Amino acid sequence: MKTKKLVTIAIFTMITMISMAQENEKRFGVELNGGVSFATRELGGLNLNTGVGFEGVFHYRFMQHLGAYAGWGWNKFSTDDTFAGSDVDVEETGYVLGLQFKHPIASSPLSYYVRLGGLYNHLEFEEGDDIIEDTGHGLGFQLAGGVEIELGSNWSINPGFKFNALSRDLDNSGIKTELDLNYINVRVGIIKRF
């Protein structure tokens, strides 16, 4: 009986050591990215101008090529004319949680990645520093992809894109308007792994 336990412990220890020896990439990462945003449709009848946004994301890789990510993002669009007058900006802020598949490209320092996540975001209509309307938070989704370029010392840059889709209702003086914010964000980020 003692022999079986010792053999089991020895095998488990060897498997653990082999998997640790093969592990050369860190499991955790922090990413900051930003870029320009292009609305793919009108927002409740409003034409949105080119916007700008950024995102902060935490990564955790739990399998060789698969990991989870979570973070917070902000995007701002201006519009030439709204129900509230001119000089009103539309801001989307909130949280993202999803899965990421990342795979190296041959033996180069490049990897491609694909992300699929859920959003918990809201839309605010702002005039200067004043919030005119707020939709409240609701669910949406995010698709993203790009290339990660290793720089060394656990640093990488990752040019890519993301597509966000969020549907919210806005109650403006008893008039309910359905708002569908869909946009593509072309971005560049920097990642530190630890």
Phi then psi for residue 21, to 5 deg, are -65, -35
Mean pLDDT of 128-143: 93
CA distances from 130 to 17, 43, 55, 98, 134 (A): 58, 20, 23, 32, 11
pLDDT score of 27? 95
Q: CA–CA separation, 164 vs 65, rounded Å?
A: 23
- Mean pLDDT estimate for the chain: 89
> What is 26-193's CATH number?
2.40.160.20
Global confidence as pTM = 0.82
Q: What angle do CA 168, 100, 151 make, to 5 degrees?
A: 120
